[in-house]
Amino acid sequence: MRMRKIDKFVISIFVLCLVVLPILLFGCKQRKSDKPTIALVMKSLANEFFKTMAEGAKAHHKAHADEYELLAVGIKDEEDVAKQIDLVELMIGWADAIVIAPADSKALVSVCKRAKDAGVVVVNIDNQFDEAVLRDRGAKFPFVGPDNRKGAGIAGEYLAKRLQKADKVAILEGIPNAFNAVQRKLGFEDAMKAAGINIVSSQSAYWETAKAEPIVSALITQYPDLKAVLCSNDSMALGAIAALRTAGRTDDVLVVGFDNIMAVQRLLKEGKVLCTIDQHADKLAIYGIEYALEILAKGQSPSDRETPVDLITADTLK
């Protein structure tokens, strides 16, 4: 028990040093600056997609350091919604604009509305806020990001060309309250329904590699004739591949991903992953940052902006 208390204390100090203190120090510095401050609030920085997003944003800031200040932060894992809410709260009063990829499409609406009511520009990227919750809270934020349903549909159509009618497939979903998770599932379902493919299971692995692996292990036991697994992000695709490797099934069960992270690119070249969707992580935050700066400069009433999605296969990587 004593060790657990010490561990919690150490973790608290670690979070304070890595997250809270940089924000406070940055804020003190920013009081003296006449440049706008953009806060980029991301999901799990353990996910390569968001690491790439952060790197793209920092590279953009380096090239435009005379135009704005940037503070890029994220959470420890995809389900750490409470910490992301705390991060947005911390930005109110420090940032001129918040560019956010919400971990939960519903839970982050209220705090972002508080930020907007406090005069902070809020731009929603990557994962769209839930329309019903926005209406209920009387909130509206511009969304800058891809059409996830379309992207998943493109990947699903590519898979369907390699399957026979009535073949069995499974879907690994993201977090249930995430808009992009819902849309990707719908996109996969659209493509499978159109091709007459049989979806035997659709389960959430919460975007996580470690949660995807045991689900896929159970699926290939329950459905030994399973032909494919459609994964709503590449992290879950990695978990699916791990399960298939253990079972010696990587050559007869196709895997589809979404995000185009480097680890999956290697598997594409090896023929272990069939395809993924590139939503351009390195540019997605930049699109949001540039739009936030535009809104700050012009004071306009913003509208949504759709960003590109592209099918990535072993051939496109050559």
Mean pLDDT for 89-118 is: 96
Domains of the chain: 34-145+281-307 (3.40.50.2300), 148-278 (3.40.50.2300)
Give which of 192, 180, 268, 196 is closest to 230, Cα–Cα.
192
Question: Which percentage of the chain shows pLDDT scores above 90?
Answer: 84
pLDDT tens track for 112-155 = 999 999 999 999 999 999 999 999 999 999 999 999 999 999 99
Report the pLDDT value the prediction gives residue 177, as an integer from 0 to 100: 86
Report the pLDDT value the prediction gives residue 33, as an integer from 0 to 100: 62
Give the residue, 22 or 285, on which the prediction is more confident: 285
